[in-house]
A and B are shown apart, each in its own frame.
Chain A
Amino acid sequence: MKLWMLFIPELYCLLMGVVFFGLAMVARPNPRRDYFVALLLASIGVVVALASVKLEGSLFFEAYRVDLFSQVFKVMLAMGFFLVVCLCTELNGIEERHHPEFYLFLTTCTLAMMMLVSSVELLTIYVALELSSYSLYILVPLRRGYGIDVEAGIKYLMVGATSSAVMLFGLSFLFGVTHTTYVVDIIHVLPNVIGTPAAILGLLLTLCGFFFKLAVFPFHFWAPDVYQGAANQVTAYIASASKVAAVAIIIRMVSLVGGNSQYLVDVLVTLSIASMTLGNLVAIVQKDMKRLLAYSSISHAGYVLIGILSMSPTGYASAIFYALAYLVMNLCCFLVVVKVAQDGSDLKIAQLAGLHRRSPILAMALMLAVFGLAGIPPTIGFTGKFLVFTAAMEKGYITLVIIAMINATISLYYYIMVVKAAYLLEPDVAQPQLAVSVPTKVLTASLVAVMVVFGVFPTYLLEVARAAARMLL
């Protein structure tokens, strides 16, 4: 097998980027064409990612590792990309002439994240992370006609740049302590020196950059603004694919410690509880659907951290599972957001009123997705939470689990408010039926099916996640 074959998913993304770049060169805008090209390429991308799941090996002087862990995440990223592209039928939030650029930056971002999950060298990680961030920085202000997008963009950039500067500073300390930039070597060295201030400071500061991606408290400040300010599809992408990549890299970094640092665990526990609580509490008072989802994503970052801070194979596996579950549920929510706010505007929760009449299938999907986010069985969200909590409990963190469950109860409140809006409230002015095309229905139904089926039969996904997690050690 040729070495470059290991790089196929990334190469394919690169190819896609080239295509979109070409489309962007063409003068006359044609959204339909752009959409179908993107859809076609993205679907092939999923196939390519799936096909390369079994690959294993390393590239670029050991700086780049291809294993089950990375490939699983690549599949998730490709899926996320594909699903976001699926949502772009009514890409009304972005000017038509910018559609190719939109796809282009989505592609580069996906490419960067794919590289991120495979990177096992600090510089590679840094470069990949920055590439993905920069693509998003540009995507956010692409929105048309709404004053808030540029503000959101600049805030995103400023917070992001600061965080990455902090991360870089931390990386320098890691380098200083371990004398190497290769993760494989760090794994061997770091657990021995993790007690020293420099090492712990380095790791902590490094994690800041990734926490920023995942929107963990206190690096979450960009999330609500960006979710609200960016176009709906962009938000969907940020909320799903980008979070998945962040989970991957945090798992990678935390696993460096080898479970030796009580201090790091304490920090992670604190941040996790703070994220959950803050996210859930503030979400209660939100009126805007995307802003609500932003706060919910902050709290979910807390839940994922529970799995990660267990620092055990089961913990990492549960975090991987949770990331996947979160991807699916969140995309399902955004599907509804995109379809209900067809003109690309922001969606107020109150605007969901009467959804059960306007489109029963969307209402049902929304309800299931939202209950999934709340962790109600038999959805995949429950299974994810269950696994995460099991992992934490194996380490004896019962207080953490109870706090997390109480948080889940609090979160139920605002999720139910969403369901209530969709199922119970009637709009002030009678709204027309929502035209839901057949492909959309199929997409919705399949998302719902994935949520329920993998919630009820988690075995397969769980085994994959476990196998992936074993690759780390």
Chain B
Amino acid sequence: MSSLYTYLFIAALLFSLGIFGVFQRRSLIGMLIAIELMLNAASINFMAFNKFLAPDPIVGQIYTLFIMGIAAAEAAIALSIIVALFRRLRSINIERAQELRG
């Protein structure tokens, strides 16, 4: 069971779920979480490839750590903008933000 493809499959599933979440959630927070899922899929990939294929054993772990850190920063920025949006629209529903188009 524990072959490379298992992990890749899980990662791909996770990634797809993330994409699905991005499409499906109207709440900005929900979309943000979905994006985190996609990032995690990438992390799993890195780890799996590192474990099964790469000569240097720690590259994948370093990547994952970095991804986590950067995702945290991203979440912080996103949340701050979401807050600003909430102040203006009294909502964090993306459907409300449709002023720019065309």
Contact = CB atoms under 8 A, between A and B. Distances in A.
B67 A168 contact: yes
B81 interface: yes
Contacts of A165: 18, 35, 38-39, 42
A180 B54 contact: yes
A225 interface: yes
Contacts of B31: 158
Interface size class of A (residues with CB under 8 A): 35 or more
A413 interface: no
A286 B100 CA distance: 12
Given A168-B39, A172-B46, A176-B53, A161 B66 contact: no
B82 interface: yes
A224 B99 CA distance: 12
Interface stretch (A18-26, A149-157, A330-338): A149-157
B74 A151 contact: no
Contacts of A162: 22, 35, 38
B59 A181 contact: yes
Q: DSSP majority for the A interface?
A: helix
Interface in B1-60: 11, 15, 18, 22, 28, 31-32, 35, 38-39, 41-42, 45-46, 48-50, 53-55, 59-60
B70 A153 contact: no
Given A158-B31, A169-B41, A175 B54 contact: yes
Interface residues of B, number: 41
A285 interface: yes
Considering residues B48, B78, B85, B94, which has the most beta carbons from chain A within 10 angstroms of its beta carbon? B78
Given A137-B77, A148-B100, A162-B38, A127 B70 contact: yes
B59 A175 contact: yes
A30 B88 CA distance: 28
Contacts of A151: 85, 97, 99-100
Contacts of A397: none
Contact of B38 (A127, A155, A169, A225): A169
Interface of B: 11, 15, 18, 22, 28, 31-32, 35, 38-39, 41-42, 45-46, 48-50, 53-55, 59-60, 62-63, 66-67, 70, 73-74, 77-78, 81-82, 84-85, 88, 94, 97, 99-100, 102
Given A134-B73, A157-B77, A165-B39, 8 more contacts: A123-B66, A137-B77, A173-B45, A176-B48, A176-B53, A179-B49, A181-B59, A229-B100
List the 6 shortest-distance A-B pairs measured between CB atoms, nearest first: A172-B45, A176-B49, A165-B38, A168-B42, A225-B100, A151-B97
14 contacts: A127-B70, A141-B84, A158-B94, A161-B32, A161-B78, A162-B22, A166-B38, A169-B45, A172-B11, A172-B63, A175-B45, A176-B45, A176-B49, A285-B102
